[in-house]
Structure 1
């Protein structure tokens, strides 16, 4: 607690150590140019910069203030029609913000914060995979008993704050436990006239020593050593059932069920150390094994990971890196694609993509499935081949099966297996040439440059535009009567001509128009009067077509890598990012640049990061939340 006091005190010193005149300049900029739209009575785009009563306001949202200063310096703010910011005042204000935030980052590097301690329930995917690796029952148990989907909006579904346990969910866990045990207790299978032993079943249900069996299996269920009292309780349940005339196997069933509905199984619990409120400490190796396995596999640790943890070897840097590489190479690491990538890249929304077969007859369930398969194969290739994450922006290859190859007009692919095909056309490779992304960012009968541009800004660059005003509406053809728009670009320009809309559309729409050569379901179409893929950004940069757009995005690769790093860090930690995570994100991004942006480097750096290896006890500020 004392260390956090000194940390808070240091931030006060930081913010008072810079020239008050420069802070006054910032106050003047905000008061004269910002508060009308981003102040107490209006917070356009969810951005509130004022009133700027003290410097602590800036420290509470560093990313917001960095972005605000950057937009002002580039001339994107204030919007056209508003009075410009005096250059001298702007220079002083920007210098103060940058110096203050840089100093705060330095303080965080010296006194890092692992973040608020969390307890995490296994989400649906984690539950199914853990049941699989624990018992050998490999099916969608959660779906079979009707467990609800996690409702998290645009966040990850493994973040602790969203994973509560309503009473109705507990009923599903009891039903799921019964289903798993029914599968586990099926009679042995016959093969070639002989019973085929089920080694896992025999290991769980027929040891000579029930207490030892309970102890060993319980430690796998709990994902930590069991106490003698915990084993005693399960042993008492076993003996009570056995005393009623049950066989050893039958007497083990209620024990196993009790374990499978225990909070120690359903929740990932890390016990606090007796070091005082707010104290920060290194987590144990068994706790690290659990964090690592659910990060990379969305499941429990395997025997090798557990043994290294029990021996106190896992946290040694060389051992930890070797284990991360081993785990990334394991097929179970496909969970990173199925859970992390599918949520970050919004691929789970593909079934809801709007293009209709009325307008696009080939966009059926089979083609949607092929599009999903392409994205999965591509991201998994980054993992298994340890490729550069920049290939997500631009790649010289695609993964297609026969259906998707025909859709993309690629010859030579006749199998339904996904095949890596080299490209000669620079327009297709990477996320922005994938049918899944292009279909998800289209409307029923046409493309949507606005949705596509928003996807680039939000998902890829981590700079989401503000939401549209409540009365923005959609393009109304009837309102264009008498205005004679020549094509859709002019229709959209007229729609976005309102002052309140124009500034944001100027950032969003040009990016989306750069993808206009792709129709609503990702087929290539040549330039024409109705297909104009040229664009000009507020920065003055101009481009034409996907290939040139991707070059501009590659020039912003630092933003992309920091965004991806932040997303994966939040996913790994199971919590929202906090301001003190920003220096870590920048450090990992810089390390990735030195190492060719390799996928493994990103994962290893997160696995070895301070918040991954440390925990702090609940403090008074946490309890207040």
Structure 2
């Protein structure tokens, strides 16, 4: 979550006039000041005057050392980012602790107790980096360069080094364009090292631009091109020496900070003004604390309320007039007054009831660990981060919402091949690959996308067919003008370029070597260039990086911002169901996607592409389970006019209706439920009882149709109820897929065989009997009544006033929205559709469904606060599909990734 939504941001702070005035004051403090001695004017040199109320920039800190320990052999990492990277002093006798400083008096090294993996991983993701140090060199003659701060393996292998070379500072930074030693280095310029306390900053932007600063002034600027993707996560972080102990540095450490992003000129000035004793920015600390508190409520407290409290204390039950499902009501309390006193659990009646065992009244009480969660939450201020505690959020099975490696679905695989190499493999892919099965309502649910031997064999066969159909030489020209396999360097450059395109991101050294080996093996066996490239492409097409969407996980827990290439892949598969195009890949390569404005501009561009429409239609197919229409086999005695082609027409009706409303008319998604038009073929129009308007799929105006209009009146959705137009199945669909309600499975042993209608008893009469039944009604009243307005539509969606027995069919009923106490009555199907289209709950459900489809996994407690933000952003923008999917892409769910152990 960005700090921008919570308080004045650091960038805002840097732009304030008072901060600019402080910068002026800081600059003047280095000028000569006038002192009077014996009546004469004397120039003296002043020490820097640090602004005590200027805060350090703290966003993006990866490691942070302030040397305030005062003693011992350990230097603590105080960044709060991921797993702490503490440092161990090899020879404590070689150093001395002074006022918030560590003085290195003789050769030693101060090395991290474990590899600095988090620094490598975070930097790889951002492709940007900053080293900052407040130091005081012992002298201006140290060389080697003498290692001030280094992440390296030895004197010739490193990720970075900040060093001193006599009177200048140097940084060696490893990138794909440099040597393993980070050469050529970047120097601060001569005469920049003195024996005074100095502020040294080196920052590298994601596009490769680097800047050097000494004491707040920029002293050097150049380009270190390429990516930081080749950083080695096995190297330790070391101060005052090389890992192999032959490049010692002597002097004082007052502060060392490492960022996984670049700092702007203003931010460098801000840190300089803050001085060496400034700690974590309190605004950032407050932001982190607030985020933690919000997540604690959403992931720990709210689930306890949902499972143990809401049965008696939701907005419908309200036992004791206490509603614990909504923040306002919960904080207001019940008939006995307030039950939650933020900051004081011991005096909170809710806590008293829990610890006494009176809540919950049935079943076992809360475990000691659960009780501790509630008490700590109240004592810490009872932060309530979500508007309503929704049981649907906590209904998914444990672990279902964790991050999963995502295999491409069959449609995604087909589109990826088409976009990557220009070959249409749809017919063969659908025939050879096992179909994707729905789980949690969607066929792209990652945990259900396994790979078995049949997949492996199919991918192998498909790769061979794809290469046979490709113009291999034309493909190769995109990445290399040379058509020779004789030069290893040429082959490696070609492999790196082609591989980045096919595998949707930079290749590491091992991958380049392996795929280059294919080319050289073909050359050594007498094969030609076309054969070599063909086999290399065939190998890449079977790579896990092609078949899966693979990302690095954060090291040491927590979350991190995804890399530009990872973000490009996420964006393209969410918006297009396929890989990034050349424009998006270039934006990732140039590091432009980390800029929110540029990222949003790319989203807007991509939404204008036809692929965005096709991807949205795949969402509709999954959400409404339209694929079942191709396998429907209604009872031919009851429905003699059914043909498979009618099912195809129903499928086409819904998708054409969806495309017209969502894309051509650009209406809010909630209008899907009562829009007064549809599309039909002559066959489908006849089935609906209309006069056909012409051949093919035609648009029909329904403004004068009293019973049709919206998704729920289309045959594709009505057939969910089966031959008997089951009110159970239809009601469950409305409850789960439109209102996000939760209902448990029927008790074991209960006969669920549908009771058929008969003369004098309709399906609705049967349902009402079930609702009145003491053992069944408690559950069935929650969902069967939702289908009463659809009773006049038979199992295939045809409209009737009477059933086959002559029973009069009705359409009145009431809509019971989960979490709302007051039912909403309706008289006709049109009334029901209007209630659905104007329901906030339905709008929220649409946001949840689109977000789940975009993420490829169920949503859980850890997602609820961010999904609420997505919904607010999308609703504020108009509530259209494009608004929802844009809000999803711009959210932290997509822009960041989190480890599975993060709350």
Taking structure 1 as reference, are residues 90 and 329 closer, same or farther at Cα in structure 2, changes over 3 Å only? farther
- 1: CA distance, partners of 2:900 / 2:611: 33
One of 539, 542, 562 as aligned partner of 1:261: 542
Taking structure 1 as reference, are residues 63 and 427 closer, same or farther at Cα in structure 2, changes over 3 Å only? farther
- 1: CA distance, partners of 2:468 / 2:300: 58
Q: What is the DSSP-based 3-state SS (H/G/I as helix, E as strand, rest coil) of the residue aligned with 1:70?
A: coil
Equivalent in the alignment of 2:726: 448
One of 227, 231, 244 as aligned partner of 2:512: 231
Equivalent in the alignment of 1:193: none
Q: Is the 8 A contact 1:136 1:200 kept in 2?
A: no
RMSD (Å), alpha carbons = 3.9
Shift of 1:131: 1.0
Shift of 1:64: 9.2
- 2: CA distance, partners of 1:603 / 1:513: 33
- 2: CA distance, partners of 1:572 / 1:272: 19
Whether 2:849 is the aligned partner of 1:582: answer: no
Equivalent in the alignment of 1:71: 316
Shift of 1:589: 2.3
Q: Relative contact order, CA 8 A, sep 6+: which one is greater?
A: 1
Q: Is the 8 A contact 2:484 2:529 kept in 1?
A: no
- 2: CA distance, partners of 1:490 / 1:497: 11
Per mean C-alpha deviation after superposition, the further-off stretch among 198-207 and 118-127 is: 198-207
- Structure 1: stretches of 5+ with no match in the other structure: 16-54, 79-85, 108-114, 187-197
Taking structure 1 as reference, are residues 74 and 415 closer, same or farther at Cα in structure 2, changes over 3 Å only? farther
Taking structure 1 as reference, are residues 503 and 353 closer, same or farther at Cα in structure 2, changes over 3 Å only? farther
1:448-507 per-residue CA deviation (whole Å, 9 max, x = no partner) reads 2222111111111111433333313224469x9xxx844333233335543221122223
- 2: CA distance, partners of 1:12 / 1:228: 41
One of 153, 157, 161 as aligned partner of 2:447: 161
Whether 2:686 is the aligned partner of 1:406: answer: yes
One of 462, 468, 473 as aligned partner of 2:740: 462
Equivalent in the alignment of 2:622: 343
Equivalent in the alignment of 2:417: 131
The count of residues paired between Structure 1 and Structure 2 equals: 548
Per mean C-alpha deviation after superposition, the further-off stretch among 207-216 and 380-389 is: 207-216
1:89-114 per-residue CA deviation (whole Å, 9 max, x = no partner) reads 7985999699979824279xxxxxxx
Shift of 1:307: 1.2
Taking structure 1 as reference, are residues 123 and 279 closer, same or farther at Cα in structure 2, changes over 3 Å only? same
Taking structure 1 as reference, are residues 393 and 184 closer, same or farther at Cα in structure 2, changes over 3 Å only? same
Q: Is the 8 A contact 2:791 2:809 kept in 1?
A: yes
- 2: CA distance, partners of 1:477 / 1:523: 19
Shift of 1:549: 1.2
- Structure 2: stretches of 5+ with no match in the other structure: 1-78, 84-287, 324-332, 341-347, 352-373, 388-400, 486-490, 817-821
Taking structure 1 as reference, are residues 319 and 532 closer, same or farther at Cα in structure 2, changes over 3 Å only? same
Equivalent in the alignment of 1:504: 779
Q: Higher helix share goes to which structure?
A: 1
Whether 2:549 is the aligned partner of 1:549: answer: no
Q: What is the DSSP-based 3-state SS (H/G/I as helix, E as strand, rest coil) of the residue aligned with 1:132?
A: helix
- 2: CA distance, partners of 1:4 / 1:63: 31
Q: Is the 8 A contact 2:674 2:710 kept in 1?
A: yes
Q: What is the DSSP-based 3-state SS (H/G/I as helix, E as strand, rest coil) of the residue aligned with 1:174?
A: helix
Per mean C-alpha deviation after superposition, the further-off stretch among 281-290 and 464-473 is: 464-473
Q: Is the 8 A contact 2:407 2:450 kept in 1?
A: yes
Q: What is the DSSP-based 3-state SS (H/G/I as helix, E as strand, rest coil) of the residue aligned with 1:465?
A: coil
Task: State how 1:558-569 maps to structure 2 within 5 Å.
Answer: 558-569=840-851
1:205-263 per-residue CA deviation (whole Å, 9 max, x = no partner) reads 99535625433321111100223442232222212212222221122222111111112
- 2: CA distance, partners of 1:517 / 1:369: 23
- 2: CA distance, partners of 1:176 / 1:121: 16
Whether 2:656 is the aligned partner of 1:374: answer: no
Task: State how 1:185-584 maps to structure 2 within 5 Å.
Answer: 200=475, 203=478, 208=483, 211=491, 212-272=493-553, 276-353=555-632, 355-385=634-664, 386-411=666-691, 413-419=693-699, 421=701, 423-443=703-723, 446-470=724-748, 471-476=750-755, 485-526=760-801, 529-536=807-814, 539-555=822-838, 557-584=839-866
Give me the TM-score of the superposition, normalised by structure 1: 0.77
Shift of 1:365: 0.9
Q: Is the 8 A contact 1:510 1:534 kept in 2?
A: no
Give me the TM-score of the superposition, normalised by structure 2: 0.55
Shift of 1:442: 2.8
Q: What is the DSSP-based 3-state SS (H/G/I as helix, E as strand, rest coil) of the residue aligned with 1:542?
A: strand
Task: State how 1:31-180 maps to structure 2 within 5 Å.
Answer: 56=300, 58-59=302-303, 69-73=314-318, 88=335, 92=339, 103-105=383-385, 116-140=402-426, 143=429, 146-180=432-466
Shift of 1:524: 2.2
Taking structure 1 as reference, are residues 606 and 250 closer, same or farther at Cα in structure 2, changes over 3 Å only? same
- 2: CA distance, partners of 1:12 / 1:375: 40
1:153-211 per-residue CA deviation (whole Å, 9 max, x = no partner) reads 3343333322333344222221221121222269xxxxxxxxxxx95586589953562
- 2: CA distance, partners of 1:388 / 1:74: 38
Shift of 1:288: 0.8
Q: What is the DSSP-based 3-state SS (H/G/I as helix, E as strand, rest coil) of the residue aligned with 1:88?
A: coil
Per mean C-alpha deviation after superposition, the further-off stretch among 516-525 and 584-593 is: 584-593
Shift of 1:579: 1.3
Q: What is the DSSP-based 3-state SS (H/G/I as helix, E as strand, rest coil) of the residue aligned with 1:72?
A: coil
Taking structure 1 as reference, are residues 261 and 90 closer, same or farther at Cα in structure 2, changes over 3 Å only? farther
Taking structure 1 as reference, are residues 300 and 501 closer, same or farther at Cα in structure 2, changes over 3 Å only? same
Taking structure 1 as reference, are residues 12 and 141 closer, same or farther at Cα in structure 2, changes over 3 Å only? closer
Q: Is the 8 A contact 2:756 2:763 kept in 1?
A: no
Flag the structure with larger Rg: 2
Equivalent in the alignment of 1:38: none
